[in-house]
Amino acid sequence: MADRPLSPHLQIWKWGPHMLVSILHRATGDGMALVGLGILVWWLGALAGGEEGYGDFQALAGSPVGLVVLVGLSWAFFTHLSSGIRHFVLDIGAGYELTVNKTWSILSPLIGLALTVGFWALILTK
C-alpha cells in the first residue's frame, strides 16, 4: 500500500452552518424530487380519472396529513430556492468571506421558513 496523503474527512473539518445548508440543499432537492413527483403524478391521474378520483385527491390533500405533506413540500421548495441562490452567488465568485458566508448560511433556511409561512398564510386566508 502506498503512503498517499488522506483527504480531509468529517472528523477533521469543523462543522459550520455552511455545511448544514449544503446538506439541507441536497436533502430538500431529493425530497422534492421523490415526494413532489409522486404527488404530481397522483394529481394528474386524479385529473384524468374524473370527478370521483379528483374528489378523493382533494379530500386527502385537505386532510391534516395531506396539509403537513404539502407544507413540508413548500418548505423544501423555498429552502432549496434560497440556498440555491446562495450557491449561485458562490459560483460566480462572491460571498466567500467567512462572515458573509456564515451569515448567508444562517439566513438561507430562515428565509425559506419565512417564505413558507407567508405562502401558507396567503393561501389559508383566501
* Mean per-residue pLDDT, 33-57: 95
Residues tagged in the binding site annotation: 80
- Domains of the chain in sequence order: 20-125 (1.20.1300.10)
* Mean per-residue pLDDT, 81-87: 95
Question: What residue has cell string 421548495?
Answer: 77
Distance, CA of 14 to CA of 10 (rounded, Å): 8
Q: Which pLDDT band holds residue 11 (cuts at 50, 70, 90)?
A: low
Distance, CA of 39 to CA of 57 (rounded, Å): 10
The C-alpha cell that represents 16 in the structure block: 459550520
Distance, CA of 6 to CA of 60 (rounded, Å): 51
| Residue 102 and residue 47 in contact, taking contact as beta carbons nearer than 8 Å | no
Q: Taking 70 as the threshold, does the pLDDT of residue 2 lie above it?
A: no
Predicted TM-score of the model (pTM): 0.85
* Mean per-residue pLDDT, 51-57: 94
Residues tagged in the binding site annotation for heme: 80
